[in-house]
Amino acid sequence: MVEATQNTPRPDPVAYDDYRAYLRAMVSHLRATEPRFSHRWFARRAGLKTSNYLKLVMDAQRNLALVSVDRFATGLGLDTRERAAFERLVRLAHADTDRARNALYAELRAARDRAPVRAVSGGETLYDLYSQWWTVVIRELIPLAPPAASPGWFAQALHPRQAAAGARQALARLRGLGLAAQDDEGRWRQAERKISTGGQVASLAVRNFHRAMLGLAQEALDRLARDRRHVSAVTAALTPAQYAELTARIDAFRRSVLEELDEAAEGPRSIYQIMFVTFPVSKEIDPCD
């Protein structure tokens, strides 16, 4: 028997990036506050024919169809605001382009700003970090900055240069995320904090960042002298096994580069974006066919 606990916090869908995570939290809440709760009780309340459908959705064995959102909202006892936020999460999961995902996530963040209690998700943390490409670059510039470096100094150090207001926002964002801090004398320093890159919104944030950097790479072909940039490519036929081996070697090389660059070096330095991009430019073809 589950004892009802009235002070158990009710999960708010606007605080989530993933509808399955919200469903799991809401089910835990209902188990603690609703003595009648069971998967069969939920199915009857929602008008569902399958009693284990909720569990299948939570366990990612089934996707929640948009036409079933209202039934789930009824089964969970959501009010109008919660229902709209829950539907937005489901639409975010169903979106088939990053343009649609970014638009829906912007709506989600606007709803969070309007919520009685401001909620920040782990995905939102990463989304903030990668929202502008220069935020990550400015964090790498911090160890190279003079003691009295202002936002204007960071803005002018970027290539291409950005407005001081953008650098100021980036520094504030890094401080808010726990990735940078100022000492008593006002000098910036890097702060260490691990941020998970898992999850739907986190993946969206990283893809947005990669697109921005790929755009800068394209501009660099015309903007930078050849001795300031390096672009090389190979076009080759690969089997799935060869592709897997190649990407594993690239990952190993990337890790070795990071380890070597962590060692102290003398002389002036620039922040470089080092990218490895591998993708198919043809369909998979069996030469035996």
Per run of 10 residues, the mean pLDDT along the chain (length 289 residues) is 48 88 90 88 91 92 93 91 91 91 86 59 68 90 90 94 92 87 87 59 81 93 92 93 93 85 75 92 84
Examine the domain organization and report whether 140 and 257 are in the same domain.
yes
At 254, list the tokens: 């990337």
Tell me which residue of 207, 282, 284, 190 sits closest to 241, measured CA to CA.
284
pLDDT for the residue 117: 46
Task: For residue 32, tell me if it sits in a domain.
Answer: yes
At 57, list the tokens: 């959705």
- The CATH number of the domain where 211 resides is what? 1.10.10.10
Task: For residue 278, tell me if it sits in a domain.
Answer: no
- The CATH number of the domain where 106 resides is what? 1.10.260
pLDDT for the residue 119: 47
Task: For residue 55, tell me if it sits in a domain.
Answer: yes
Examine the domain organization and report whether 42 and 77 are in the same domain.
yes
- CA–CA dist 129, 180 (Å, integer): 12
Examine the domain organization and report whether 185 and 162 are in the same domain.
yes
Task: For residue 267, tell me if it sits in a domain.
Answer: no
Task: For residue 158, tell me if it sits in a domain.
Answer: yes
C-beta separation of 2 from 31 below 8 A = yes
Task: For residue 7, tell me if it sits in a domain.
Answer: no
Examine the domain organization and report whether 113 and 233 are in the same domain.
no
Of 86, 117, 148, the residue at which a domain comes to its end is 117
Host domain of residue 49? 13-117
Strand partners, 23: none
Cis ω before 151 (30° cut-off from 0): no
Examine the domain organization and report whether 145 and 110 are in the same domain.
no
pLDDT for the residue 164: 93
Examine the domain organization and report whether 35 and 90 are in the same domain.
yes
pLDDT for the residue 111: 81
Q: What is the DSSP letter of 9?
A: P
Of 58, 88, 117, the residue at which a domain comes to its end is 117
Strand partners, 87: none
pLDDT for the residue 107: 87
Examine the domain organization and report whether 61 and 113 are in the same domain.
yes
What is the pTM (predicted TM-score) of this model?
0.61
Tell me which residue of 263, 283, 143, 274 sits closest to 214, measured CA to CA.
274
Of 90, 117, 144, the residue at which a domain comes to its end is 117
Examine the domain organization and report whether 234 and 146 are in the same domain.
yes
- CA–CA dist 55, 37 (Å, integer): 13
Examine the domain organization and report whether 105 and 134 are in the same domain.
no
Task: For residue 268, tell me if it sits in a domain.
Answer: no
Examine the domain organization and report whether 66 and 151 are in the same domain.
no
Examine the domain organization and report whether 224 and 106 are in the same domain.
no
- CA–CA dist 273, 167 (Å, integer): 18
Task: For residue 196, tell me if it sits in a domain.
Answer: yes
Examine the domain organization and report whether 156 and 240 are in the same domain.
yes
Q: What is the number of structural domains in the chain?
A: 2
